Structure 1
């Protein structure tokens, strides 16, 4: 059985490839949320602050990537489609938030949490 730590390490290993791919596609990119501390956002399953109560960010298995082109923030899920679909092919656990209207969300699924 694969531990949460092993999955977190694999996710972290792939995040630089995700960022590199964003640049290769012609975007500029900045980092958004990664870990969401339970002291601020509540434990897994608890809703505090913003975000979903069962967020992969709370498990250190998600990152939000903000995309820009010519200095303009690329709003909406559709701008992330090519990067998101590429991400989904990188690992069996890779999930793209565009499948649930959160286009800049890139994660690994663990115990049903994406």
Structure 2
């Protein structure tokens, strides 16, 4: 098994833990974007939706999730902070987009590879 496959597998195990944690906290979670093609990444980069051409979405080690509270989509960093902190506590390789410097990406969860 390649090291990337091992990282992808560990990432998805942590994603399942994250979803279970967030659900127990009262959130309703739906899936967003996991894999992104290089062409789509370039579109996001050029439009300012992404700040890098080296996204972990390209390696299937990042996911954007949708957080709903009382039926309303929420991207508020402070409301989701507990979930982001939990994500980062699962592995030293995990980063939450809510803690990015300069470009806050609240629904983004990734594993550094």
TM-score band w.r.t. shorter chain: 0.7 to 0.9
In structure 2, the residue matched to 1:36 is 36
| 1:26 correspondence with 2:52 | no
In structure 2, the residue matched to 1:55 is 55
How large is the Cα RMSD of the aligned pairs?
1.9
Q: CA deviation at 1:71?
A: 0.5
Q: CA deviation at 1:40?
A: 3.1
What is the distance in 2 between the residues matched to 1:76 and 1:59? 27
Following TM superposition, the consecutive aligned residue runs of length 4 or more in structure 1 with deviations greater than 3 angstroms are 47-50
In structure 2, the residue matched to 1:95 is 95
Unmatched runs of 5 consecutive residues or more in structure 2: none
**Higher helix proportion (structure 1 or 2):** 2
Change (3 A) 1:109 1:98: same
In structure 1, the residue matched to 2:86 is 86
Count of equivalent residues? 106
TM-score by structure 2 length?
0.82
| 1:109 correspondence with 2:112 | yes
